[in-house]
Chain A
Amino acid sequence: MDFYLAAIIQALCFGPLVIGLFLSMKIFNIPDITTDGSYTLGAVITAVGLANGYSPLITLVLAMLGGAMAGSCTAWIHTRLRIHALLAGILVMTALYSINLVLLGRSNKPLIGYQDIFAAFKLFTQADYNTLAVLLVGVSILFFAMSYLLRSDFGIAMRATGDSEPMIRAQGVNPTRMKTYGLAISNALVAWSGSLMAQFQGFTDINMGIGIVISGLGAVIIGDTLMNLLKIRVIPLMLGCVLLGVVVFQSILAIALSAGVDANLLKLTTALLVLLIVALPRVGGFLQFGRR
Chain B
Amino acid sequence: MLQLEHITKAFNPGKATEVVAVQDMTFRLEAESYAVLVGANGSGKSTLLNLIAGSVYADKGKIWLDAREIQRLPDYRRSRWIARVFQNPLTGTASSLSILDNFRMAALRRSPKRLKLGVDAAFKRAVTEKVATLGMGLEHKLTQPMGTLSGGQRQALTLLMTTMADVDILLLDEPTAALDPRSAREVMAIADRIIRENRLTALLVTHNIAEALRYGTRLIQMENGKIIRDYDQQAKSTLAQAEVVSWFDYY
Contact = CB atoms under 8 A, between A and B. Distances in A.
Given A153-B104, A156-B101, A172 B94 contact: no
A89 to B, nearest CB: 23
Interface in B77-109: 77, 79-80, 83-84, 86, 90-98, 101-102, 104-106, 108-109
Contacts of B109: 170-172
B154 to A, nearest CB: 11
B113 A153 contact: yes
A160 B94 contact: yes
Contact of B76 (A153, A159, A172): A172
A41 B183 CA distance: 54
Which of A149, A162, A166, A171 is most buried by chain B, counting CB atoms within 10 A of its CB?
A171
Contacts of A157: 105, 108, 113
A159 B105 CA distance: 11
Interface residues of A, number: 24
A34 to B, nearest CB: 24
B115 interface: yes
B105 to A, nearest CB: 4
A167 B117 contact: no
Contacts of B117: 148, 151-153
B91 A171 contact: no
A258 interface: no
A175 B109 CA distance: 14
Given A152-B114, A156-B101, A166-B91, A171 B74 contact: no
A159 B145 CA distance: 12
B60 interface: no
A169 B75 contact: yes
Interface string B56-77: 0000000000000000001111
B91 A167 contact: yes
A167 B92 contact: yes
B233 interface: no
B109 to A, nearest CB: 5
A153 B76 CA distance: 16
A149 B97 CA distance: 15
Contacts of A170: 53, 75-76, 79, 83-84, 86, 92, 109
Given A167-B93, A172-B79, A233 B113 contact: no
B116 A166 contact: no
Contact of B91 (A149, A164, A172): A164
Interface of B: 53, 55, 74-77, 79-80, 83-84, 86, 90-98, 101-102, 104-106, 108-111, 113-119, 143, 145
Interface of A: 148-149, 151-154, 156-157, 159-160, 162-164, 166-175, 233
The 3 closest A-B pairs by CB, nearest first: A163-B94, A160-B94, A157-B113
